[in-house]
Structure 1
Amino acid sequence: GGYIRQELYYILKDEKDVHFSFGSIRGGGINQATKGMHSSKFCLNIAGDTPSSNRLFDAIASHCVPVIISDEIELPYEDVLDYSEFCIFVRTSDALKEGFLIKLVRSITKEEWMKMWERLKEIEHHFEYQYPSQGDDAVQMIWKAVSRKVPSIRLKLNRSNRFRRSMVQMP
């Protein structure tokens, strides 16, 4: 993640209308990042070193269309949400090609962007935690995802039990 971030910085740093900043929790970094995301149409979501990164969720909450740079990212609720409706996906090798990313983003029409932006507003509640939990918020979506996985887990367990008697040593 860090290498890609650094390379993209060098590729994009002089591009018009591109704001690329590194920040930290100290010195108002969070407020600065939040302000930047809220005023941006697109937000880079570069695959990091940890699956628990909140960049994607910050972009969604900011209604900033995520530009996901990753070859094999696993996304929450992807079995029920079509992320291509509100995100742009770019292979890492393509993103690192000079001019590719900026050309791709600039080729998106206002109508296409508006459609993705509207979809972001429709799905954002799936990523918000509320107390008490409300229909299809993050808590409900997590429980639904777990419940969708239970049948396949149960199937694997049952299949693993098929031959347990034949594994018993006969006298």
Structure 2
Amino acid sequence: LVQTWKDDSSIFAHDGRLNTPYSDHLLGSKYCIHAKGFEVNTARVGDSLYYGCVPVILADQYDLPFMDILNWRAFSVVVTASDIPNLKKILQEISPQEYSVLQANVLKVRRHFQWH
């Protein structure tokens, strides 16, 4: 992902340490991408939700928190591995109205992801 979008000014893709606060990047982002490694990192998803960022889940098979009670498609975008090359197009095709609904739902569900 970093190699694909490292020179694209509309997408902030990085690996390694950040030179600026992590929270600044989340606050300034509409979408936060979560690629599946061994699992979709739940803490990072929670961080995205906390800062109002719509999570984009990149995975074919995934086990997300509260899947049995929360409709993840109401507040996130799920993209299969085969669609990753089309990710930017998929996100660009989400209308401002659809995005507003996703983000409003993020704000409704984010309390479920706060660990104290």
Superposed, which structure 2 residues align to 1:61-140 within 5 Å? 61-95=50-84, 97=85, 100-130=86-116
Q: TM-score normalised to the size of structure 2?
A: 0.89
Do the aligned partners of 1:37 and 1:62 also contact (CA within 8 Å) in 2?
yes
CA offsets, 1:88-146, max 9 Å, x none?
A: 00011220x2xx1110011111111110100000111111134xxxxxxxxxxxxxxxx
SS at match of 1:45: strand
| Residue equivalent to 1:15 | 8
Do the aligned partners of 2:36 and 2:57 also contact (CA within 8 Å) in 1?
yes
Moved over 4 A (4+): 50-53
Do the aligned partners of 1:65 and 1:117 also contact (CA within 8 Å) in 2?
yes
Aligned in 2, Cα 1:106/1:121: closer, same or farther, shift over 3 Å? same
Shift of 1:50: 4.5
Percent sequence identity is: 26
| Higher RCO structure, 1 or 2 (CA under 8 Å, sep 6+) | 2
Aligned in 2, Cα 1:72/1:9: closer, same or farther, shift over 3 Å? same
| Residue equivalent to 1:45 | 34
CA offsets, 1:38-66, max 9 Å, x none?
A: 11000101112346552211111111001
Shift of 1:80: 0.6
| Residue equivalent to 1:139 | none
The one-letter amino acid paired with 2:13 is F
The one-letter amino acid paired with 2:63 is E
The one-letter amino acid paired with 2:60 is D
Structure 2 alignment gaps of length 5 or more:
none
Q: TM-score normalised to the size of structure 1?
A: 0.62
Identify, as 1 or 2, the structure richer in helix.
1
